[in-house]
Amino acid sequence: MAVCIAVIAKENYPLYIRSAPTENELKFHYMVHTSLDVVDEKISAMGKALVDQRELYLGLLYPTEDYKVYGYVTNSKVKFVMVVDSSNTALRDNEIRSMFRKLHNSYTDVMCNPFYNPGDRIQSRAFDNMVMSMMVQVC
Amino acid sequence: MEGLTLSDAEQKYYSDLFSYCDIESTKKVVVNGRVLELFRAAQLPNDVVRQIMELCGATRLGYFGRSQFYIALKLVAVAQSGFPLRVESINTVKDLPLPRFVASKNEQESRHAASYSSDSENQGSYSGVIPPPPGRGQVKKGSISHDTVQPRTTADPQEPASPVVSPQQSPPTSPHSWRKHNRHPSGGNSERPLAGPGPFWSPFGEAQSGSSAGDAVWSGHSPPPPQENWVSFADTPPTSTLLTMHPASVQDQTTVRTVASATTANEIRRQSSSYDDPWKITDEQRQYYVNQFKTIQPDLNGFIPGSAAKEFFTKSKLPILELSHIWELSDFDKDGALTLDEFCAAFHLVVARKNGYDLPEKLPESLMPKLIDLEDSADVGDQPGEVGYSGSPAEATPSKSPSMPSLNQTWPELNQSSEQWETFSERSSSSQTLTQFDSNIAPADPDTAIVHPVPIRMTPSKIHMQEMELKRTGSDHTNPTSPILVKPSDLSEENKINSSVKFASGNTVDGYSSSDSFTSDPEQIGSNVTRQRSHSGTSPDNTAPPPPPPRPQPSHSRSSSLDMNRTFAVTTGQQQAGVVAHPPAVPPRPQPSQAPGPAPHRPVDADGLITHTSTSPQQIPEQPNFADFSQFEVFAASNVNEEQGDEAEKHAEVLPVEKASDPASSLRVAKTDSKIEEKTATSAPANVSKGTTPLAPPPKPVRRRLKSEDELRPEVDEHTQKTGVLAAVLASQPSIPRSIGKDKKAIQASIRRNKETNTVLARLNSELQQQLKDVLEERISLEVQLEQLRPFSHL
């Protein structure tokens, strides 16, 4: 279960960001922001090869004391960043991948909506629901 | 209503108005559309209008006949003159000015009004009868208001188009005009000028409230008259729709419509009253949506691309966010395009939203594109069928692939209730087995449409399997399923059996559907089933599907299906039409008689089957064509059934069915121990059908060798097409008689052999089924454990 999920556009501005309500959201926003550098670093590192050869799932971007940040980038340079609680050891890499896959699918559905202009903030309820389902269940 | 005396001017005016409102020239005007606009244009308070309606008797009748209309107009004049509304006042009030209707939308009307008013003291106050359709757009509005402000005389210029279009497009404008009218209750004759554009425009909201009031009025008066030709957005709420857009007008507007008009229309609709199922699409609405769809995409089976849909729905003036949500809800397959079903759902949601209903979080069932799944799952380009389905929104088949999953689900169910036909035929919602069934099967079958149900069931399964296969293949398409089901049932009895089979298959389908995990609406599934049933009649197999003779190879099945065709062809002599008409109709399973046990379980099916079987045996021997079949008659019922199923499949033109049936048949054979035995016992008489129902794969090839099979082979090619098969059957018929003599003995011998093999295989099958069931249960429990252990279940 993630504590924060963010969708960053190609130009590195957020399209969607949501944190677990109990936490200090600003902290997560900052973490996501700093993780963008790491994402760019990883992209450029693999950037030699063509984009399609690049793995979408970036893996653990960087760990902090309390949290781990995972990254995922699409072929259109839309980045998904996920912050998970370090104490949540049950989360395996496989599950993180599946979470990102789910995010990607939902994002694609949002894109398919003709009323959505790429670059707008994502306000889709379906997307929101999906993200909420992945967040830490806090009461 | 008492007699109404009208002056000449009045008479003329009224008749003009009547013909104006009588769009359909039916001599009676439904209470909506133009009439409403007209009355609103009279600028009377809503309750007055209501009163008028009551007085003239339109509420009683539900429509405005000519006399009622005239009375109403007279009352309008009375009201506008400030006299109390009384029935007597119709005739007592003398020198009434002609009723004034503002917002000259109609040039003609205005002209008429002008002419009429010439002899009334109200000069100028007559403006167009119907406010120009708001559709004109903002620009028009201005002009319209301008018009209304000025006495009708000046109305002409403004309405140039509006008069013509107004009737159609009145709805949009009407709110405006209403509003105006409401604001300016027609007191004096003259002043009319609708207080200038200001009030007119002012707010849609006001107009809406006015319109809503009007709507309420109307609704109160008469049952929401079916929108004459339009499905106003507010269709669902019966009342509100009254004035809401005329579909025609809306259609016109779609192309020209400006946001303004849409808004007005929507606003009006918003007033709609409540209805039972807010998300149910009435026929008129549906028709309207379809027409709208056509304006964008002439091909009803095609898609509307996202951009076109965006433009279209943007005209409705809903906020983009809401439109976005509506899109999310309605684009069921998330392909960025709208099919007809999706479009109707989206349109309906827009209408509802315009009327003030909140958007649901998930798509309501009645709006779900039912056929889409079916067609997708069926993997048959049965677009027309879908359209047909979609035509009945009320059907609301649960979830997308109701029949398919239901079929799959029913299988497991069937498996469990081996001898209990009832369970299958009734839509029991025991889907547990089904689910496991599905999970097993779904991946296996490449053909999305058909998922070979891994028969977990026991003997009866065979029949069920056949049915299920039929269902799977034809789940979406009534016909397919039925044929398949029919086939396995009784080929021999074609006609009669077909009918009975149809019934049986229907049952099975029902059974399946019931077990459908979706179970969103078992009845709906049943309805689907019934549809299918009609086509092919559930094969009697359903009740106690004789373990489908192990369909060894597709070819075999084909041949069996060919047999079916032949049997059909043979019997077609008697009932050509019937056979051809129901190619899918499973040839009456000879088994029906065999499965008396299951038959009783299966309500009608069994009976039908039995009758069929009884008839089929008779038929078979009688007809030379059937000779071959009769030879094979002896084959275990299961075999026959299988063949029938095969044939049915062929008839069903669903190749996948064959595939499905093959595995199914094999399974069935194994499982239906008891059935097989029964069948063998009873199959003799009933073997008519193909006879060459190889119980087990091995026997099947053997049987194939039989001449009849040879004959069938030529037809094998055509099994894909029932007509082709039938033709082949017919073609082969001549050859049948020749070989009859020779084949008879050989066939009988082979039948005996096959029967024995059948029993053995059936036993084996049942054992394997048991094992399979156990394994599946284990698997399910493991899966459950896994789920519990997984912290996150994704996708």
Task: Give, rounded to a whole angstrom, the gap between the first and last alpha carbons of chain A.
Answer: 14
Q: What's the number of CA atoms in the CB half-sphere (13 Å) around residue B622?
A: 14
The complex scores an ipTM of 0.83
Q: What's the number of CA atoms in the CB half-sphere (13 Å) around residue B464?
A: 41
Residue B481, pLDDT score: 41
Please say whether the beta carbons of B428 and B414 come within 8 A: no
Amino acid at the residue B795: L
**Token digits for A52?**
């399609």
Residue B290, pLDDT score: 86
**Token digits for B457?**
């069931």
CA distance B263 to B175: 10
Please say whether the beta carbons of B183 and B195 come within 8 A: yes
**Token digits for B90?**
């119709």
Using a CB-CB cut-off of 8 Å, the residues of chain A touching B307 are 114
Domains of chain A, residue spans: 2-137
Residue B775, pLDDT score: 95
Cα angle, residue B110 at apex, residues B107 and B113 outer, rounded to 5°: 150
Please say whether the beta carbons of B691 and B640 come within 8 A: yes
CA distance B740 to B632: 11
**Token digits for B378?**
């069926």
Give the tens place of pLDDT for each residue, B131-166. 444 433 333 443 444 444 444 444 344 444 444 443
Amino acid at the residue A59: G
Exposure string for A53-68, b = 16+ CB within 10 A, e = fewer? ebebbbeebeeeeebb
CA distance B176 to B193: 14
Give the tens place of pLDDT for each residue, B586-598. 555 544 444 444 4
Helix (H, G, I), strand (E, B) or coil at B135: helix
Q: Which helix (H) or strand (E) holds A65?
A: none
Please say whether the beta carbons of B516 and B431 come within 8 A: yes
Q: What stretches in chain B show pLDDT beneath 70?
A: 1-6, 21-36, 39-40, 56-64, 84-278, 369-740, 792-795
CA dihedral B545, B546, B550, B556 (to 10 degrees): -90
CA distance B169 to B130: 10
Residue B389, pLDDT score: 40
Cα angle, residue A39 at apex, residues A34 and A43 outer, rounded to 5°: 155
From residue B435, alpha-carbon distances to B35, B411, B438, B475, B779 in Å are: 55, 9, 5, 17, 12
Nearest by Cα to B227 from B173, B291, B164:
B291
From residue B609, alpha-carbon distances to A115, B121, B383 in Å are: 55, 81, 32
Range 54-113 of A in CB contact (< 8 A) with B: 88, 90-91, 95, 98-99, 101-102, 105, 108-110, 112-113
Q: What's the number of CA atoms in the CB half-sphere (13 Å) around residue B641?
A: 57
From residue A20, alpha-carbon distances to A83, A103, B16, B262 in Å are: 10, 16, 68, 41
R_g of chain B, CA atoms, integer Å: 33
Q: What is the CATH number of domain A2-137?
A: 3.30.450.70
Please say whether the beta carbons of B480 and B652 come within 8 A: yes
Contact A99 B328 (CB under 8 A): no
CA-based torsion, B248, B250, B253, B255: positive or negative: negative
Residue B571, pLDDT score: 46
Any idea how long chain A is?
139
Using a CB-CB cut-off of 8 Å, the residues of chain B touching A129 are 361
Contact B324 A90 (CB under 8 A): no
Residue B554, pLDDT score: 46
Residue B651, pLDDT score: 46
A19 φψ region: left (φ > 0), alpha (ψ -120 to 50), beta (else): beta
Residue A4 pLDDT > 80: yes
pTM of the prediction? 0.34
Residue of A nearest to B305 (CA): A114
CA distance A73 to A54: 9
Average pLDDT for chain A: 83
Nearest by Cα to B100 from B137, B133, B63, B74:
B74
CA distance B215 to B354: 15
Contact A99 B794 (CB under 8 A): yes
Q: At what angle do helices B673-686 and B655-671 cross, to 10 degrees?
A: 110
Mean pLDDT of A55-64: 84
Residues of B with CB under 8 A from a CB of A: 305-307, 309-310, 313-314, 320-321, 323-325, 327-328, 331, 334-336, 361, 790-792, 794-795
Of B305, B313, B795, the CB nearest to A102: B795
Using a CB-CB cut-off of 8 Å, the residues of chain B touching A1 are 791-792
Residue B782, pLDDT score: 94
**Token digits for B39?**
């009355």
Chain A: nearest CA to B272, how far in angstroms? Answer: 26
Please say whether the beta carbons of B253 and B295 come within 8 A: no
CA distance B504 to B246: 45
Give the tens place of pLDDT for each residue, B269-282. 444 444 446 677 78
Residue B487, pLDDT score: 44
Residue B61, pLDDT score: 63
CA distance B15 to B211: 26
Contact B790 A95 (CB under 8 A): yes
